[in-house]
Amino acid sequence: MSVLRFLLNGPLRRRIRLLQAKLELLTGRIEQLEQAFAATSFPDAGTVERMNATAGQCITVETQEHSLHGILVNMHQDSLELMDEQGQHVVVPAARILLIRQ
């Protein structure tokens, strides 16, 4: 037991602390990269401008699961708001949008 205690208190313990610090650093970097990726993905500034110009017009939004047709009510930073054929407001998350057609 004393050898095990020595290893845990000595070089092995330092190695574990070093690995924990590296893991925390990598976790922080991953979070930064995810935020940077989110900022550069849909919708970019040009898309927001074009979509705001089509507000009030009929568009079709394609997601992997659905094809939604309706009037563009508003373009948010992370979603589109449509009014469908039944007059209901539908919010489509930008991350799910594959294609937008007029």
Instruction: Provide CATH code, domain 45-101.
Output: 2.30.30.100
State residue 24's pLDDT score: 96
Task: For the chain, give the percent of residues with pLDDT over 90.
Answer: 36
Q: Is residue 89 within 8 Å of 81, Cβ to Cβ? A: yes
Strand, coil or helix: 63: strand
The pLDDT tens digits of the residues spanning 36-63 come to 876 666 666 777 778 878 888 999 999 8
The total number of residues shown for the chain amounts to 102
Cα–Cα distance measured from residue 38 to residue 34, given in angstroms and rounded to the nearest whole number: 6
Domain boundaries, the chain: 2-40, 45-101
